[in-house]
Amino acid sequence: MAEGDQQRFKRVLLKVSGEALMGDRHFGINPVTVDRIASEIKAVTELGTEICLVIGGGNIFRGMSGAAAGLERGTADYMGMLATVMNALAMQGGLERIGVPTRVQSAIPMATICEPFIRRRAIRHMEKGRVVIFAAGTGSPYFTTDTTAALRATEMNCDAIFKGTQVDGVYSADPNKVADAERYDNLDYMDVLSRDLQVMDASAVSLARENSIPILVFSIHNPNSFASVVKGEGIFTVISDTI
Ligand code: UDP
């Protein structure tokens, strides 16, 4: 990554899975982990980068598992979207505790707890230095928060999608299960799609590809990793069409 990239990342979207908020727990939200991720985000706001967030819901509820347990898929997916709202509120709390102004915007209007998603308003919030947290996914069942991340990044004219994961980039196989899994520094969108590399779902990668938004994959658990990657330092994988 070349010098000056920090400048290129004027506005970014960070996607974290619900799982990332669990910390060492097996379910739900670990407040210590939320606070740590909040301070990572604060460090990036201090670089002058505008930030919006999409948080998953898998730590609380996933539509697929609800459907497997006998719920109607649409209903189960709405429950999954509601889980993302809880995570968004937890992250808002974590950020505001350390003085980062935020707004939560939900794709499913919930007037008493947050704003509805309004594209131009979200952009204005970021211009004013607020972190915008997009909740309730796309608002439609059969989608994921990865696809939401690609969609909102496109709508917000973000320079990149930052995908904070459990490992420090994209591997040929799960490095926690396959000892000799290969780690990549750069990948083409088509590599990810054709080799079915498990980093973001195919619709998210396709949307990022169509709109030429690079995806930077890094470990959300390495201290100070978000700010490092925004500065082009540290360990990460870039998915783009420029290699
Ligand atoms: N979901 C949905 N539509 C969306 C986004 C999410 O129906 O646009 C539901 C879906 O059931 C999903 C759940 O919300 O399983 C939680 O999101 P996701 O699985 O993407 O969370 P993550 O894996 O990132 O924690």
pLDDT by residue (tens digit) across 88-115?
999 999 999 999 999 999 999 999 999 9
Distance 143 CA to ligand 1 centre (A): 7
Distance 125 CA to ligand 1 centre (A): 25
The pLDDT value recorded for residue 243 is: 55
Tens digit of pLDDT for each residue in 175-189? 989 999 999 999 999
- Kindly state the DSSP code that residue 196 receives in the 8-state scheme: T
Distance 215 CA to ligand 1 centre (A): 19
Nearest-atom number in ligand 1 for the CA of 146 is 20
Determine the Cα–Cα distance for residues 85 and 105; give it in Å rounded to an integer. 9
| Residue from 33, 73, 79, 84 to probe ligand 1 pocket by mutation (most atoms less than 8 Å from CB) | 84
Regions of the chain where pLDDT drops below 70: 1-8, 242-243
The pLDDT value recorded for residue 6 is: 47
Spatial CA neighbour of 136 closest among 211, 54, 18, 229: 54
Distance 33 CA to ligand 1 centre (A): 20
Determine the Cα–Cα distance for residues 219 and 226; give it in Å rounded to an integer. 8
Are β-strands 237-240 and 11-16 bridged in parallel, bridged antiparallel, or unpaired?
Answer: unpaired
Are β-strands 115-116 and 237-240 bridged in parallel, bridged antiparallel, or unpaired?
Answer: unpaired
Q: Two tokens at 194?
A: 């054709």
Q: Which residues line ligand 1 (CB under 6 A)?
A: 17-19, 56-58, 62-64, 77, 80-81, 83-84, 137-138, 140-141, 143-146, 148
What does pTM read for this prediction?
Answer: 0.96
